[in-house]
Amino acid sequence: MRLLLIEDNARLASLIREGLDRQGFAVDWYETIEGAELALKIAVYDLMLLDLGLPDGDGLNLVRNVRQQKNAVPILVLTARGGLDDRVNGLDAGADDYLVKPFQIPELAARCRALLRRPGASLGVQLAAGNVLFDSTVRSVVIAGRPVEASPREVDLLEALLRRAGMVVAKPTLENALYSMDAEVTPNALEASVSRLRKRLAAAGADVRVRTVHGVGYALFAPTPADG
């Protein structure tokens, strides 16, 4: 899942990015409304985390502009403005949730997952293909009824493929889901992640297959009756 963070406090932004990265999110960070608007033009995000007191204006103006442009990206406001009127104004402007500073990273991550599980959002609670089951609430993988430990990157990749099971997922789409803009990504990073995931699935007895569509991307297929 790729998130856009708009926060002018560099130390807090760093803590948020590090904490959410450990929770399986890729986070792009900008300090201003101008930077956020540019990011929204060049990338697709699953969720926006927005501070309101920004150097070039009030974050609520960005919320209104995003909604006026018919962009339905979920918006979680992160702010020190904790009054009832502030929360009401934020929600009425088009924000989806409101988290008052200071907060703990586990709660922030839980709020993110909750927003992403809403109808029409990016997360479903459980995804399944063949004998593979993924629970987005706790980001756990179960194969053939047994829990399987996997790295955060492998889990991210499996989730992206499960969400489009039976369809080819283009390489840029997978890279967009797995890596933030400033991540140092080698040319074969995605291929290496796919290779590790295949080995993980095979070792656990998964009956799904990750196939390469050369020059395009990858697809995860569940077994069909004919396979048996």
74 preceded by cis ω (within 30°)?
Answer: no
Mean predicted confidence (pLDDT) in 7-13: 94
Mean predicted confidence (pLDDT) in 145-170: 89
173 pLDDT tier (thresholds 50, 70, 90): confident
Residue with the larger pLDDT of the pair 91 and 202: 202
Q: What is the pTM of this model?
A: 0.62
pLDDT for residue 93: 85
211 pLDDT tier (thresholds 50, 70, 90): very high
Span 110-153, pLDDT tens digits: 899 888 876 555 555 678 899 999 987 677 899 999 999 998 88
pLDDT for residue 227: 56
pLDDT for residue 133: 93
Residue with the larger pLDDT of the pair 177 and 145: 145
d(CA 212, CA 206): 17
The answer, yes or no, to whether residue 171 has pLDDT greater than 60, is yes
Q: Looking at residue 50, what DSSP letter applies?
A: E
pLDDT for residue 215: 86
Q: How many CB atoms lie within 10 A of CB 226?
A: 5
Q: What percent of the chain has pLDDT over 70?
A: 92
Encode 165-185: b = buried (16+ Cβ within 10 Å), e = exposed: beeebebeebbbbbbbbeeee
Tell me the H-state helices in the chain: 10-22, 33-42, 59-68, 84-93, 105-116, 152-162, 171-178, 189-203
177 pLDDT tier (thresholds 50, 70, 90): confident
The answer, yes or no, to whether residue 49 has pLDDT greater than 90, is yes
pLDDT for residue 54: 92
Structure tokens at 167: 């369809």
